[in-house]
Structure 1
Amino acid sequence: MSTLPKVAFIGTGGTLSSVGRDSLDILDYTATGRRLEAEEILARVPETRAVAEVVPVRYRAVTSPGIGFSDWRTLVRLCEELAGAHPDLAGIVIGHGTATLEETAYALSLTLTVDLPVVLVGSQRPISALSSDAGLNLVAALRTAAAPESRGRGVLVVLNDEIQAAREVTKTSVTRMQTFRSPDFGVLGQVDGEHVRYYRRSERRHAPGTPFDIRTLDALPRVDISYAYADADGTAVRAFAAAGARGIVSAGLAPGMTPPAEAEALAEAAAAGIAVVQSTRAGSGVVPSTVRLASHGIVPADNLTPQKARILLALALTVTRDPDALAEIFATY
């Protein structure tokens, strides 16, 4: 009987699962269309058997630009099923492409119903590449998911020997190994060999126990992102409103402002009953609550990136449309 901790591994595809033309193919490897399923990835990384009793779970092997709400909903259900089927499960690892990894991680951190550690992992180089980071990233993620210290910290992201909070982490480089960073606050901890070490925790609330239940939803309310730039005239904002957006996130100029014509369009949208959240394209820092925003009923995004503000706003709109209540949600999660 195994004395190793039991960890489920769900494979959703991504670079971690990709097989390129040869070992030097580290850029155009998706052209082959070859991606491994969960059990095939584990077979390529036999070292995983030394750190955990891994339960491979097939999902679907795709590139992460193809992952969105329907997958988040399925993953919430799947994690729930795994926890029920394996009472001795120590944690769950989800292999994921890096393009949307931070969005899936944050969505799950707000909607999961299990209190097990859930860790998302990816890689910058395909599993077939010379000096691929896929294998060691996977081992580190399994160790993190199995560690008792990982409980109660929300969804975690592990790459490059670093443990990041789902709410705070973002991808900052196309190809560099140290791409995932938490600009304002830094890592939660590190994985050094067999040692999983934590140095801080994220203070914002997370699942389980949030009011956001997506298990039976057909879709999330439509929320779009309008990217600000010099001379932006509100065309995108008005197009999103015409398309039926129930919410709009403004990726504004730092510190959370937009050109006058864009600001006018956002105010019009808010007056028409569309929930408007002001974020910033800067990548870090808090959008302050100002008289200007409050006068139009626009909610500041705190320090969430636009893509994460979109997720929180869409989830928030499943429970309220009141601007004050939305502001409280953004101050809580």
Structure 2
Amino acid sequence: MSKRKVAIIGTGGTIASQGLHPLDVQDYASSGRPILDAEALVAGVPDLARVADVFAVPFTAIPSTAIGWSDWRALVAKILELEAAHPDLAGVVITHGTATLEETAYLLSLTLPTDLPVVVTGAQRPFTGLSSDAQMNLVAAVRVAADPQARGLGVLVVLNDEIHAAREVTKTSTGRLQTFRSPDLGALGHVDADRNSFWRRPTRVLPLEARFDILGVEQPPRVDVLYSVAGGDGVAVHAFLAAGASGIVAAALAPGFLTPAERSAMAEAIAHGCTVVLSSRAGSGRTFPTRRYGEEGFLNADNLNPQKARILLMLGLTRGKDQAAIARLFETA
């Protein structure tokens, strides 16, 4: 029986990094050694051939701290190109730096007009590190991308033998291998030695017809994030407005409140036509609608963290500023 075909797109990151020696698992970014491209990654893990018929796809190596709108558009275009060119393609794996991995995965989940399994993976230790997680994470991601069970689940994130939904997962530790977690709901499943074990399906997956077309959008509306702190004032809000912000997401005090000065500044922003969404800095749980904030025009991010709420608001604003439509989006996407 022939193996299922999986494309591997390499975008750089720790998973493709090389240190000076096996114990260089911290300063490898300044090692001077080149970032491995997808072809080199595939060649460096020959046992990938045991689990799928894999092929490498050229793409630009981008530090995940530098990734942005144009790179996301390029990834969408590349995946659609691969699907058209390979009718027998079972799935796609994207290797990515972990700093913004969750944002890329969520944006792709909202914008890819296909149910083709797409899995984003990365690593906490460089490819050359002693006991690196890079090789096994890549194998696990390929196994999931090749699995028919992964179809229709939206973009998935696979690291540390766990399968997560792009909407739900977040990076929770700077250095630990078990960094990616889904705080409210947990993993969708696990990549076990004998099989992929899926335990549940995500309910917040946009239908294909509702996904956002970003290929024709050169620049998205500007959306900024305010991090709320005790004694916080409205200086940042005024700076965001001066910079042309169409939307602001608040990483608000749990369960979704602002300081008096921040709230006043945000109310001014709303009066000037800026869309304001309340998320939480807590890392878990919904922001609950309250009458007083609702009457002032604040929207709620549900349980999306601030960085993902920014992605969704940015995409929502590409369709206009209808507040009711954007509020519905945060209840369904």
Q: Give the structure 1 partner of residue 155 of structure 2.
A: 155
In the TM superposition, residue 18 of structure 1 has moved relative to its aligned partner by 0.2
In the TM superposition, residue 211 of structure 1 has moved relative to its aligned partner by 4.1
**1:1-333 correspondence to structure 2 within 5 Å:** 3-33=2-32, 34-206=34-206, 208-333=208-333
How many residue pairs end up in the alignment? 332
CA deviations 1:33-81 (Å, max 9, x no partner) are: 4210001011111111111111100101222111111111111110000
Kept in 1, the 8 Å contact 2:95–2:120? The answer is yes
CA deviations 1:174-220 (Å, max 9, x no partner) are: 00000000000000000012411100111113363324110111011
In the TM superposition, residue 23 of structure 1 has moved relative to its aligned partner by 0.4
- Paired amino acid for 1:237: V
Q: Bigger CA drift: 276-285 or 57-66?
A: 57-66
Q: Bigger CA drift: 59-68 or 263-272?
A: 59-68
Separation (CA, whole Å) in 1 of partners of 2:51 and 2:207: 27
Three-state SS of the structure 1 residue aligned to 2:58 is: strand
TM-score normalised by length of structure 1: 0.98
CA deviations 1:244-264 (Å, max 9, x no partner) are: 000000110000001100000
Kept in 2, the 8 Å contact 1:211–1:319? The answer is no
Kept in 1, the 8 Å contact 2:113–2:211? The answer is no
Identity between Structure 1 and Structure 2 (%): 57
Separation (CA, whole Å) in 2 of partners of 1:167 and 1:320: 23
Separation (CA, whole Å) in 2 of partners of 1:207 and 1:124: 32
Three-state SS of the structure 2 residue aligned to 1:54 is: strand
- Paired amino acid for 1:58: P
Three-state SS of the structure 1 residue aligned to 2:11 is: strand
Separation (CA, whole Å) in 1 of partners of 2:171 and 2:161: 15
Separation (CA, whole Å) in 2 of partners of 1:205 and 1:94: 19
Separation (CA, whole Å) in 2 of partners of 1:14 and 1:195: 27
Q: Bigger CA drift: 192-201 or 310-319?
A: 192-201
Separation (CA, whole Å) in 1 of partners of 2:191 and 2:211: 32
- Paired amino acid for 1:251: A
RMSD: 1.0
Q: Bigger CA drift: 321-330 or 206-215?
A: 206-215
Three-state SS of the structure 1 residue aligned to 2:278 is: strand
Separation (CA, whole Å) in 2 of partners of 1:217 and 1:150: 29
In the TM superposition, residue 115 of structure 1 has moved relative to its aligned partner by 1.5
Separation (CA, whole Å) in 1 of partners of 2:171 and 2:12: 18
Kept in 1, the 8 Å contact 2:38–2:57? The answer is yes
Three-state SS of the structure 2 residue aligned to 1:66 is: coil
Separation (CA, whole Å) in 1 of partners of 2:208 and 2:74: 16
Three-state SS of the structure 2 residue aligned to 1:64 is: coil
Kept in 2, the 8 Å contact 1:298–1:323? The answer is no
Three-state SS of the structure 2 residue aligned to 1:138 is: helix
- Paired amino acid for 2:311: I
Kept in 2, the 8 Å contact 1:112–1:207? The answer is no
Three-state SS of the structure 2 residue aligned to 1:19 is: coil
In the TM superposition, residue 320 of structure 1 has moved relative to its aligned partner by 2.5
- Paired amino acid for 2:2: T
- Paired amino acid for 1:12: T
Kept in 1, the 8 Å contact 2:253–2:282? The answer is yes
Separation (CA, whole Å) in 2 of partners of 1:288 and 1:99: 28
Three-state SS of the structure 2 residue aligned to 1:190 is: strand
